[in-house]
Amino acid sequence: MSKENLSIVKIGGNVIEDTEALSQFLEGFSKLKGKKILVHGGGKRATHIASKLGITSNMVNGRRITDANTLDVITMVYGGLVNKNIVAKLQGLNTDAIGLTGADINSIYSEKRPVKEIDYGFVGDVKKVNYKSINRLIEADFTPVFCAITHDKNGQLFNTNADTIASELAIGLSKLYHVELYYCFEKNGVLMSVDDDNSVIDYMDTGTYESLKHDGVFHDGMLPKLENSYYALESGVSRVFIGNPTVISNKNQKFTTLYL
Ligand SMILES: Nc1ncnc2c1ncn2[C@@H]1O[C@H](COP(=O)(O)OP(=O)(O)O)[C@@H](O)[C@H]1O
Ligand SMILES: CC(=O)N[C@@H](CCC(=O)OP(=O)(O)O)C(=O)O
């Protein structure tokens, strides 16, 4: 029997900061047919609020060094401010959203990132996605909205990159569904030249990815996004798309499709 479709959509921090773009995105998301999950970041907002509180943000390889004070900030910002505003907006669009951290219904279990050259503090690497429990919400016609927080089932919350949350959810749920994973951010897709929004790479297989990576075409946050994407494709996710927030509702435009 063929599997039902499930769309998992991740929205990044730059879009969350742009009220107009966020509203447009949420409208498109609420109209998206079929079963779906939203994952949101919010790194920019966390950095802004941390700085107001006199807490300096320190990112290494695209990941936030998360000490105890920073963990408090990200819990308030991701799990509270950003998540609940998105859920409320979706409710206003008649989408029955339920906001979750990875601790809720024990949905995403993680372990502290091992200390090698760098100690990331309270940053968790995902070890298990409880896809059966998440599916109970989906089956009940709720739309889960995940923030970038996981837990160790021992009372400890962890900060986990939102792109990783999206790919791990996609991998877990691909056991039950035909999963399409969308990474939505402020650009039109993966670009040949990061300053030229018209230079979208339409299709990218693993070979092209490796050679462009070698040529230095990808920087900063794009590197973990692509690593997560190919890992998801290798682990059973059907398709990965990277594009601007309208990619979920309008396929007559530029965006990037990744494949193995
Ligand atoms: N080749 C590339 N194409 C598109 N964006 C790129 C590329 N290389 C680097 N980037 C950068 O990656 C960023 C996206 O990563 P990130 O900031 O983590 O996204 P998100 O908003 O989803 O969290 C873009 O804002 C862009 O500046
Ligand atoms: C460990 C780690 O780096 N976590 C990220 C989680 C938020 C995130 O990924 O937000 P964007 O998608 O908006 O970048 C952070 O705190 O910045």
CATH number, position 20: 3.40.1160.10
Residue nearest to atom 11 of ligand 1 (CA): 222
CA dist list (Å): 179 to 4, 6, 65, 110, 191 = 8, 5, 31, 22, 24
pLDDT at residue 154 above 90?
yes
What percentage of residues in the chain have a pLDDT greater than 70?
100
Instruction: Express each pLDDT in 78-113 by its tens digit.
Output: 999 999 999 999 999 999 999 999 999 999 999 999
Instruction: Express each pLDDT in 208-228 by its tens digit.
Output: 999 999 999 999 889 989 999
pLDDT value at position 249? 87
Ligand 2 proximal residues by C-beta, below 6 Å? 12-13, 41-43, 46, 63-64, 74, 123, 148, 159-162
In sign, the C-alpha dihedral spanning 196, 206, 116, 108 is positive
Q: What is the mean pLDDT of residues 40-68?
A: 96
pLDDT at residue 251 above 80?
no
Q: What is the mean pLDDT of residues 53-68?
A: 94
pLDDT value at position 260? 93
pLDDT at residue 48 above 90?
yes
Q: What is the mean pLDDT of residues 228-236?
A: 97
Q: For residue 215, how far is its CA from the centre of ligand 2 (angstroms)?
A: 26
pLDDT value at position 53? 97
Length of the chain: 260
Q: SS3 for 253?
A: coil
Q: For residue 145, how far is its CA from the centre of ligand 1 (angstroms)?
A: 22
Could you count the other beta carbons within 10 Å of the beta carbon of residue 112? Answer: 15
Residue nearest to atom 23 of ligand 1 (CA): 12
pLDDT value at position 61? 82
Tell me which residue range forms the domain holding 233.
Answer: 5-258
pLDDT value at position 220? 86
pLDDT value at position 163? 97
252 versus 27: the higher-pLDDT residue is 27
pLDDT value at position 62? 82
Q: What is the mean pLDDT of residues 133-141?
A: 98
Distant-in-sequence, close-in-space partners of 172: CB < 8 Å, separation ≥ 6: 129, 130, 131, 134
pLDDT at residue 250 above 80?
no
**Cβ(55)–Cβ(83) under 8 Å?**
no
Pairing of strands 5-11, 35-40: parallel
Is 63 marked as a binding-site residue? no
pLDDT at residue 35 above 80?
yes
pLDDT value at position 248? 94
Is 155 marked as a binding-site residue? no
Q: How many helices (H) and strands (E) does the chain have?
A: 9, 14
Instruction: Express each pLDDT in 172-216 by its tens digit.
Output: 999 999 999 999 999 999 999 999 999 999 999 999 999 999 999
> What is the value of pTM for the model shown?
0.97
Number of domains in the chain: 1
Residue nearest to atom 20 of ligand 1 (CA): 12
Strands of the 149-151 sheet, one edge to the other: 124-129, 108-112, 149-151, 157-159
Pocket test for ligand 1, best of 22, 201, 222 (most atoms within 8 A of CB): 222
